[in-house]
Amino acid sequence: MKVSIVIPVYNDERNILRSVKSALSQNYPKDLFEV
């Protein structure tokens, strides 16, 4: 099953990198999701 990860952010550049890294570090196959 393919999934999309949506990270809504507004004026919060301090946390966006941490959020993206967290999403990419999941144990889900990388070819089955997009950020």
pLDDT single digits (tens) 1-35: 888 888 888 888 888 888 889 888 988 888 888 87
Query: Which residues, in sequence order, are CB contacts of 2 under 8 Å at separation 6+?
Result: 32, 33, 34
pTM of model > 0.85: no
Long-range contacts of range 11-18, CB-CB < 8 Å, 24 or more positions apart? none
Which pLDDT score is estimated for 34? 84
All structural domains of the chain with their residue ranges: 3-34
Which ranges in 1-35 belong to alpha helices (H)?
A: 13-24
